[in-house]
Amino acid sequence: MMMKLFAFLAAAPFLLSSFSCAFTLLRTPPRPAYYDVSLQATRKPFISGNWKLNPQTKDEAIQLAKEIADAVLPTSPDSDVALFVPYVFIDAAKQAVGDKIEIGAEAVCPEGKGAFTGATSAPMVKSMGVQWSLAGHSERRVLFGETDEYINRQCLKLIEEGMSVMLCIGESESEYDQDLAGAVCAVQLKKGLAGITKEQMSNVAIAYEPVWAIGTGKVATPEVAQKVHATCRSILAEIFDQETADSTRILYGGSVSPESVDELMAQPDIDGALVGGASLDSKKFARIINFEVA
């Protein structure tokens, strides 16, 4: 018995250290005690749609863009509104929406020019009047094999061109089930934002999109989404500082709908939405643009 006790005591420091490390990795960092909820009011809401590989024709794109632009009214919330559309529809969509809505690219190649068949560069879309582009969407990561390093190069190139980037991050369902959302987001944020200065963060927005909720109809509860957003803001404070974290807009994406948008937008760390399927339905997206928060 005494031998077992001595063995346990000898191993205790290692066991405690291992437990502490695992707990630090998995837990959600708490909001700083001095956090001022009024800071949310300084971050302008950002409602955006991602059309992906839709619609099928230019005429359909123009019609949809016009209908969505018509939903931006003088009575609408004071928000930035953007549509990320296929390259071939950028010019037509810009003409259809006028100055009501920003038209962005769904991705860019980090190379400036050269022998990269099928690629579209940041300078190319910038020459069409585009200011924003997505980077790191889960479909680009999974279907096209884009790595954190490649995504970081996209971010750096866009900022080098004086443009703005919406960096998409998020965990898979299995990672969520293992309580790894915070750890996954930390890795994707730190790698995706490598080399970006705190001053350049004014050209960056973050979109948290749990992969298990994209296109599935599943939506993280407002409480779960808020928890992860608070974690992301804490990670930004660790990478940069609290001021930068407090000023960076973090959007939620993942089957956002007219039914879920109000509760999501009421959360203190959710600053907008990146909407997939519902952005292809002008009536649904109109309701999301005109979200209501008590």
What is the CA angle 135-136-137, rounded to 5? 100
User: How many whole angstroms separate alpha carbon 249 and alpha carbon 241?
Assistant: 15
229 has catalytic annotation: no
209 has catalytic annotation: yes
- Helix then strand count (H, E) for the chain reads 12, 8
User: How many whole angstroms separate alpha carbon 62 and alpha carbon 92?
Assistant: 6
Among 102, 106, 209, 229, the one annotated catalytic: 209
Question: 42 burial class (0-12, 13-18, 19+ CB within 10 angstroms)?
Answer: exposed
Phi, psi of 118 (to 5 degrees): 85, -5
DSSP 91-151: HHHHHHHTTSSEEEES--BS--SSS-TT--BHHHHHTTT--EEEE--HHHHHHS---HHHH
Among 102, 106, 137, 146, the one annotated catalytic: 137
Strand boundaries in the chain, DSSP class E: 46-50, 80-85, 102-105, 132-135, 164-169, 204-208, 250-253, 272-275
What residues are annotated to the active site? Answer: 137, 209
